[in-house]
Amino acid sequence: MIDFRLDRGSGVATYLQLVHQVKHALRLGALRPGDRLPTAKEVVDKLAINPNTVLKAYRELEREGLVAGKPGLGTFVQRTLGGASVTEHARLRDALSGWVDDARSVGLDSEDLEALFAAVVLDSFRVGEDTA
């Protein structure tokens, strides 16, 4: 469950601070699809802010398709932001830099690498379409 904080001196509207914190949590993988956001009462009980502010933030997130309210149950995360998790990103980056070192050692320059990478990406997605 996300734990909202307020930066009262920041000059950023309170509802926007809540929106930003949810998006940040989505990018970091701290919130995943299916997770429930705290109810307005739970947020209000912690931060001592107007419940309408929380509802406004949730409406904004709903408008962007990130969360959906289910009457009587709560507000749930619909999708994530920024692809795979942080650990997956780190693993893929390691593997890719190994491949780049390998390619350079046999004499490919930066443009060769980019062209090769783009071609492989293109092929990969085309294969995906054929089998779909």
Partner 1 sequence: MTVLTATGLGKRYRRTWALKDCSLSIPAGRVVALVGPNGAGKTTLLHLAVGLLSPTEGGVAVLGQPAGTAETLPKVAFLAQDKPLYDGFSVADMLRFGAHLNPRWDQDLAMRRLTELEIPADRKVGKLSGGQQAQVALTIAVAKRPDLLVLDEPLANLDPLARHEVMRGLMAAVAESGMTVVLSSHVVSDLENTCDWLVVLNRGRVQVSGDIEELLAEHRLLTGPAELADGVANRVPVIDDSRTDRLATLLARTGASAPALDPKWTSRGVNLEEMVLAYLRKPEAASLPRPVLAST
Residues binding partner 1 (CB under 8 A): 6, 8, 11, 13-14, 39-41, 44-54
Instruction: Please name the helix (run of DSSP H) or strand (run of DSSP E) that holds residue 77, with its range, or none.
Output: strand 74-77
- Comparing CB distances to partner 1, the nearer of 55 and 81 is 55
Single out the residue of 39, 66, 70, 71 nearest to residue 55, CA to CA: 39
- Comparing CB distances to partner 1, the nearer of 39 and 85 is 39
Bridge-based pairing of strands 74-77 and 36-37 is: antiparallel
- Comparing CB distances to partner 1, the nearer of 47 and 108 is 47
Q: Which amino acid is at 20?
A: H
Measure the CA–CA gap between 88 and 19, rounded to whole angstroms.
25
Least distance CB 19 / partner 1 (angstroms): 15
Least distance CB 41 / partner 1 (angstroms): 4
Least distance CB 20 / partner 1 (angstroms): 16
75 touches 37 (CB < 8 A): yes
- Comparing CB distances to partner 1, the nearer of 30 and 47 is 47
